[in-house]
Structure 1
């Protein structure tokens, strides 16, 4: 079976207020062409199809047109799961009649235990879920109440889920898993979540490759770069578009994987996707940025720029509209930052809040107000609140 593996479309995403819909449409046209050129048997979208649980009308219209073009106009089967950014119940609407046209989308845990069967492959579509979802599911299955309560983290929940999937294996077929989680090579390895939150709420903590070793191939979503793939047969396709400065700094190209279940994975399986408008990251002094010899070497007025001005003395530029002056030269500046002595001192003395999980942020705020840490009961309440927010229901 030959499949195109893509993920993390995040339709509706913006970059500091700039819409990325045109970029996403441009990437989609390349995905479609690759699928046609490769004559694939289906297209996998491994989660985070939308950027948020309640997408805007433009995002809905855009995605509907994309899926229509793939599935109806060109008759490609689609195998998709919901990610942590998707509204699972909303995305589940229409699922039953979509299957009549070979459009398979799983957004609820219980749906993952009904593999899609082809002549030579079993496809298991496992959507993003959290420990609470697993507890509810296994309680409905009649699991002992104490065993249900023992499911405290996503690792324990995943072990149960995979064990039940393995019971469904047809030994005469290949077994492919499509899912949306952070998976590392081992428990000792840490992976950069790129444009994803570092929060552990809702099961975002890292799973390990060993947990999936009974599958012939695992197609992952959630991490936005293929460089995070833990092994040759457990891979991230990465997102088709650069979503922030952090991703723009990563050298790994954007693209999709072509997966043939009858062949061993190979580096040549990757197909690059080129941006319509690239995101260029610059970190230079003010003098350098205004030097024609420097900016003449840049794709000015063609690509987007994220600029950090080094050693910038604000007192010398009180009457200067810095952004306007840079935009006159470079065109669209989607992000402007300053790297100066004052900021360096601040950053050396304060934790970067972007590196804290949601619950850690709440805990530190609580400490700053009360002088005490959150109790176990309070932490549980905070965790449950963020789980509900993640679901967006």
Structure 2
């Protein structure tokens, strides 16, 4: 049995106001071509199919076309779950009749306890859920009220869920799990890799690999790089598209999907790379370098996207910086400035703020913003203001 493992499509995502839909559709075409070339028995989408709970019309139309192309036109089964970005109840619409064409879509905790049965494996599909979802579910199952109250964190909830899944195991088959959470190698090792929201992995509580010891293989979603995978048999494929500058900076991570092959003796995974239609490049150089033809002509200008940081920048010497950068490079999705000396001055002044007089603080603030000292007239005005304020006290 062979499966294509992908996750975190985030259909409808934008990058600083720029639509990523063309990028996502291009990545989808490559995913489909990989699936056909590898002759997979199914495509796994491990959560965050949409970017938001209430997706745009364009996002809904795009996903509808993608799923139809995979499932109806090419007759490839789909095993999909909702992630923390998806609207579970909205995405759940029509899932019963979808299964008639082997399109399995789980968005509710209650659906996770009915595995998909294939000749080789049982595929458990566990969508993103929180402890409250678990409390509601187990209360409906007749659990004692005090025991329900003890489900406080996601770790306690997940242990209950996994133990109930294990009761359903067929000992003659492999046991696969599709889910959408942060999973670390151990409690002592907290992940610090890029995800879709923050550099500390999206704000979801961290689980550990020990939680999933009973499964032969776990196909995860949520973290956007495969290098966050906590073990060889608990894997993130990463997102198929670069969604932010942090992801673009980590060039070695690449984007793609995993091909997971299940045999009687082992389960293996092979990464298949996806080539971006419009790549995102991160440049951090001085103004002189950025405007030097020798430098910028070596870049894919007017073709790809750029996130630019101007180093050692003096605002007083330049106007219409964005316009100039766009004239040279084309689409600039992010423009930032870095002045090491000024940043150090700000840090020093903040550290010594309590030791400075009010008029000195105003003087330093003015210099930080404008790069100039207060004039004599401005100093007199500031002084008179503080004198008047002192009288009011």
1:133 aligns with 2:133: yes
In the alignment, which residue of structure 1 is the partner of 2:212?
Answer: 212
Deviation at 1:196, TM superposition (A): 2.7
Q: Distance in 1 between matches of 2:186 and 2:78?
A: 31
Deviant stretches of 4+, over 3 Å: 197-203, 263-267, 341-350
Larger displacement relative to structure 2 (49-58 or 142-151)? 142-151
1:306-385 aligned at under 5 Å gives the runs: 306-317=307-318, 320-341=319-340, 342-343=342-343
- Runs of 5+ consecutive residues of structure 1 not aligned to the other structure: 351-393
2:168 is paired with a residue whose SS is: coil
Q: How does 1:108-257 map to 2 (within 5 A)?
A: 108-192=108-192, 194-198=194-198, 204-250=204-250, 251-257=252-258
Please give the alpha-carbon distance, in whole angstroms, between the structure 2 residues aligned to 1:199 and 1:40. 33
Q: What's the secondary structure of 2:336's corresponding residue?
A: strand
Q: After the TM superposition, which residues 82-93 of structure 1 pair with which residues of structure 2 at under 5 Å, given as runs?
A: 82-93=82-93
* RMSD after superposition: 1.9
* Aligned CA distance change for structure 1 residues 345 and 188 (closer, same or farther; 3 Å): farther
Contact 1:153–1:203 (8 Å) recurs in 2: no
TM-score (norm 2): 0.85
Shift, 1:128, TM fit: 0.2
- Which consecutive residues of structure 2, in runs of 5 or more, have no partner in the other structure? 351-393
With over 3 angstroms needed to count, the CA separation of the structure-2 counterparts of 1:292 and 1:219, relative to structure 1, is: same
Q: Whole-Å Cα distance in 1 between the matches of residues 151 and 229 of structure 2?
A: 27
Q: Distance in 2 between matches of 1:219 and 1:180?
A: 8
Q: Classify 1:190/1:311 alpha carbon distance in 2 versus 1 (closer, same or farther; 3 Å).
A: same
CA distance in 2, matches of 1:58, 1:345: 47
CA spacing shift, 1:321–1:187, aligned 2, 3 Å:
same
| 1:155 Cα deviation after fit | 0.9
Contact 2:196 2:202 in 1 (8 A): no
The answer (yes or no) to whether the contact 1:217–1:261 under 8 Å persists in 2 is: no
Is the contact made by 2:192 and 2:201 (CA closer than 8 Å) also made in structure 1?
Answer: no
2 CA distance for matches of 1:175 and 1:183? 18
Structure exhibiting the larger radius of gyration computed from Cα positions: 2
* TM-score using structure 1 length: 0.85
Aligned length: 347
* Greater relative CO, 1 or 2 (CA 8 Å, sep 6+): 1
